[in-house]
Amino acid sequence: MNAIDLLIRDHKVVKKLLEELSSTTERAVKKRAELLHRIERELQIHTALEEEILYPAIKQAGGKEEAKMYYEAKEEHRTVDSLVLPDLLHTETGTLEFAGRVKVMKELLEHHVEEEEAELFPTAKKLLDKDELEQLGLTMEAQRKLLKGEQRAA
């Protein structure tokens, strides 16, 4: 599977989990916590794959505009990983505050996904040939297995 297809598949998984989480009520305390932790795990792996493998390949193959896209995408990841998600993980799942924070995280992630799929991924397809994208995909699949193993061990 090429790198772009793999990342789009990840996007679909996270969007589905976010939809599930958004549709829960304050009474679904346990389910909310479970979904949030699944989202956290998916995002950690997905972010690592993009930031360690795809983004550097785009930045290296491109010019100034691609470098700007690289830093913007990394900053969007940082916003969710360092600010929004940690706050959400420390918010009582049975509260309206939790629902509000989920909505904000969902909107941020949907915006990020839209930008990647409309701008960054098409740019990657222009800059990197089919073989390069396939090789990046294989590297990502191997890295995913390693990261999932580390998560289980932790």
Encode pLDDT of 135-154 as tens digits: 999 999 999 999 998 878 77
Q: Which residue has the higher pLDDT, 151 or 81?
A: 81
Q: Would you list the domain boundaries of the chain?
A: 3-148
Domain 3-148 homologous superfamily, CATH: nmb1532 protein domain like (1.20.120.520)
Per-residue pLDDT tens digits for 103-117 = 999 999 999 999 999
Q: Is the pTM of this model over 0.85?
A: yes
pLDDT at 8 over 80: yes
Q: What is the DSSP string of the chain?
A: --HHHHHHHHHHHHHHHHHHHHT--TT-HHHHHHHHHHHHHHHHHHHHHIIIIIHHHHHHHS-HHHHHHHHHHHHHHHIIIIIIHHHHHTS-TTSHHHHHHHHHHHHHHHHHHHHIIIIIHHHHHHHS-HHHHHHHHHHHHHHHHHHHHHHHH-
